[in-house]
Amino acid sequence: MRLRNILLMLALSAVAALGLAACGGGDDEDEGTTTAATEGASVSFTEPTDGATTASTVTADVEVSGFEIDAAAVGKANEEGKGHLHFSMDGGKYDYPKYSGANGKLAEKLGVEGQYSPSTEPTITYKGLPRGEHTLEVDLVNNDHSETGTSATTTFEVTSSGSSGNGAKSDSAY
Amino acid sequence: MGTATTQAAPSEVEAFDFGFGPEEVTLKPGTTVTWTNTGETIHTVKGKGFFSKAIDPGGGYEFTFRKPGTYKYLCTLHPTQMRGTIVVQGPLRRAARL
């Protein structure tokens, strides 16, 4: 009886070991790849919602899951599931300090103004947007600013001057 | 022979993911350096007196170095990984006036 139990435990251990080995195949991937794995990461806009009408000052909020925003790691080596955000309004047309404030200033410092506004917070405020339809995109990016492939967009219409959203502002670096 | 070459012709530097190649270039005053982004993400070139801003993949940036000196530069987006040096060596001329 005791011998049977020992044999059964050995057999179960062997099966478990085989399973772990099968899961550990990630080491075979090419070295030097610029994209860290972000499996299970997602991002979506909570404000402004798709089709919303807003004032010329818009605070956008995003919900991020399965991905850690790490301000201290920006510009450093990539880490799985970590990084920061790039916001891009109308393809970068409004990603300047005049519109995206501190985030735009950082974009200018990094030389990417007109392309995107970096952020280490899940929110950003754009001021002085002209009336009309605008599309805001957010990308989850790796520490080295390369895209992870996870992004979201929202399209809204500015119909008046003034402020919209929750009033929060993102003065974060990166 | 066998030392770093001093070039009069335009010089080419590759900005790849994530580094510059060659990391150090030695050239004569008046030489134009062209950086080409051969990577898959945006890079920049920033040193004392020159700043490319964002260079898209496949894009490039040129700067002409007129004064002798050692110009260290980096990519502002990847400063810990991408750094390079341009050494501008001028002819040593001493005034002959007495």
Q: What is the pLDDT of residues B34-44, one digit of tens each?
A: 999 999 999 99
Cα gap B75→B47, rounded to integer Å: 9
CB contact under 8 A, B18 and A144: yes
Q: Which residue ranges in chain B fall short of pLDDT 70?
A: 1-10, 92-98
Look at residue A161 in the predicted model and tell me its pLDDT: 75
Contacts of A119 (CB under 8 A, 6+ apart): A84, A85, A86, A87, A103, A170, A172, A174
Predicted TM-score of the model (pTM): 0.75
CB contact under 8 A, A115 and B42: yes
Task: Report the CATH number at residue B76.
Answer: 2.60.40.420
Residues of B with CB below 8 A from A74's CB? none
Look at residue A164 in the predicted model and tell me its pLDDT: 60
In a domain, B38, yes or no: yes
Q: What is the pLDDT of residues B58-71, one digit of tens each?
A: 999 999 999 999 99
Structural tokens at position B86: 């341009």
SS3 A139: strand
In a domain, B15, yes or no: yes
User: In a structure prediction context, what are the per-residue pLDDT tens digits for chain A, which is 174 residues long?
Assistant: 444 444 434 333 333 333 323 323 333 333 333 345 467 899 999 999 999 999 999 999 999 999 999 999 888 888 999 999 999 999 999 999 999 999 999 999 999 999 999 999 999 999 999 999 999 999 999 998 989 999 999 999 999 876 665 444 444 444
In a domain, B98, yes or no: no
- Domains of chain A and any CATH numbers: 38-164 (2.60.40.10)
Look at residue A38 in the predicted model and tell me its pLDDT: 64
What's the structural domain count of chain B?
A: 1
In a domain, B94, yes or no: no
Interface test with B, best of A86, A110, A139, A174 (most B CBs within 10 A): A110
Look at residue B83 in the predicted model and tell me its pLDDT: 97
**Sign, CA torsion A23/A27/A33/A36:** positive
Residues of A with CB below 8 A from B53's CB? 111-113
CB contact under 8 A, A112 and B42: yes
Interior/surface letters A6-28, b for 16+ CB within 10 angstroms, e for the rest: eeeeeeeeeeeeeeeeeeeeeee
Look at residue B4 in the predicted model and tell me its pLDDT: 52
Cα gap A49→A99, rounded to integer Å: 20
Q: Euclidean distance between the first and final Cα of chain B, in Å?
A: 35
In a domain, B36, yes or no: yes
Check if the beta carbon of residue A104 is closer than 8 Å to that of residue A98: yes
In a domain, B4, yes or no: no
Other C-beta atoms closer than 10 Å to the C-beta of B64 total 11
Check if the beta carbon of residue A47 is closer than 8 Å to that of residue A166: yes
Look at residue A60 in the predicted model and tell me its pLDDT: 98
Check if the beta carbon of residue B78 is closer than 8 Å to that of residue B54: no
Residues of A with CB below 8 A from B59's CB? none
In a domain, B33, yes or no: yes
Domain residues for the domain of B83 are 11-88
